[in-house]
Amino acid sequence: MARPSSIELKSAEQIIKMRAAGLVVGRTLKTVREAARPGVTTSELDALAREEIAAAGAVSSFLGYGGGFGLPPFPAVTCISVNSEIVHGIPGERVLAEGDLVSVDFGVSLHGWHGDSAITFAVGTPSPEASALCETTRQAMWAGIAAARIGGRIGDIAAAVENSVRSRKLGYGIVAEYTGHGIGTAMHQSPDVPNLGRPGRGELLAKGICLAIEPMLTLGSAATATLDDEWTVVTRDGSLAAHWEHTIALTPAGVWVLTAEDGGEAELAARGVKFGPLAD
């Protein structure tokens, strides 16, 4: 999709605005997760997210997206991708069942500034395979976040995500066709943030850069296909997929995870990374 080629660097005031959007996103994902149980439809979960958007006075980043890129406008405020669906699943009449592996991707803008985050969880009790896939994806996201620092490169993040997955030797696929991205006054901005790469390569990470870091892993092959709805991306081999995402900012103090309730403080501390919140 079309993205401006220059990187939008944010001031402290602008990052604080993005934190407000990020908190709406994080809170909404928590609400959706708590409501997901056997018998609930994915459109019912989307309706809950719509209520949160309205209550926050925010604007969906997803609803209507794609019209400008020749795609059918996205008809919902969440992407809900179940089991072999990787990303961009359209909420609908699908009834969630015990053991389903559910990815919810959600984004809003608040006063013109965007936040974007995704979580994966099981409905009820997951299989050991689903549980391991989900946790490995979450850990890969945090490894990528922990590798981001002012003066570093996009490739540092990509390599950290890739190494986090490969080092576990579980044989998972790392989806390459879809990447993380810059974020700010638009949901998708330059630069792309790949989930495979080499350290020291790619764009420089400067103060005020804001990125969405979002690995997508599969239990089998990483090959993808898109369904006839033109949105839903699935694994070609039918294997399970998981997706985790946070929006981060690089501040002079460190990393601030704008879509995490605690700003990322606990997970960053566990990895020895400086936590970089900004004060109002």
Closest separation in Å from C-beta 219 to Mg ion: 21
Question: Which C-beta is closer to Mg ion: that of 38 or that of 64?
Answer: 64
Question: Which C-beta is closer to Mg ion: that of 99 or that of 116?
Answer: 116
Question: Which C-beta is closer to Mg ion: that of 1 or that of 266?
Answer: 1
- DSSP 8-state assignment for residue 125: S
Sheet containing 210-213: give its strands across: 189-193, 180-182, 210-213, 246-251, 254-257
Closest separation in Å from C-beta 104 to Mg ion: 9
Closest separation in Å from C-beta 192 to Mg ion: 11
Q: Which residues bind Mg ion (CB under 5 A)?
A: 105, 116, 118, 212, 245
Q: Judge contact between 209 and 182, C-beta under 8 A.
A: yes
Task: Write out the H or E segment, with its range, that includes residue 11.
Answer: none
Q: From the CB of residue 51, how many other CB atoms can be counted at a distance below 10 Å? A: 12
Closest separation in Å from C-beta 202 to Mg ion: 17
Tokens describing residue 138: 């979450």
Question: Which C-beta is closer to Mg ion: that of 105 or that of 267?
Answer: 105
Which class for 95: exposed (0-12), middle (13-18), buried (19 or more C-beta within 10 A)?
A: exposed
> What's the alpha-carbon Rg for the chain, to the nearest Å?
17
Tokens describing residue 77: 């405020």
Question: Which C-beta is closer to Mg ion: that of 73 or that of 124?
Answer: 73
Closest separation in Å from C-beta 245 to Mg ion: 5
Question: Which C-beta is closer to Mg ion: that of 210 or that of 255?
Answer: 210
Report how far apart, in Å, the C-alpha atoms of 223 and of each of 1, 166, 192, 277 are: 20, 17, 19, 38
Question: Which residues, at least 6 apart from 63, have a Cβ–Cβ distance to it below 8 Å?
Answer: 73, 74, 75, 76, 77
Closest separation in Å from C-beta 97 to Mg ion: 24
Question: Which C-beta is closer to Mg ion: that of 12 or that of 176?
Answer: 176
Closest separation in Å from C-beta 212 to Mg ion: 4
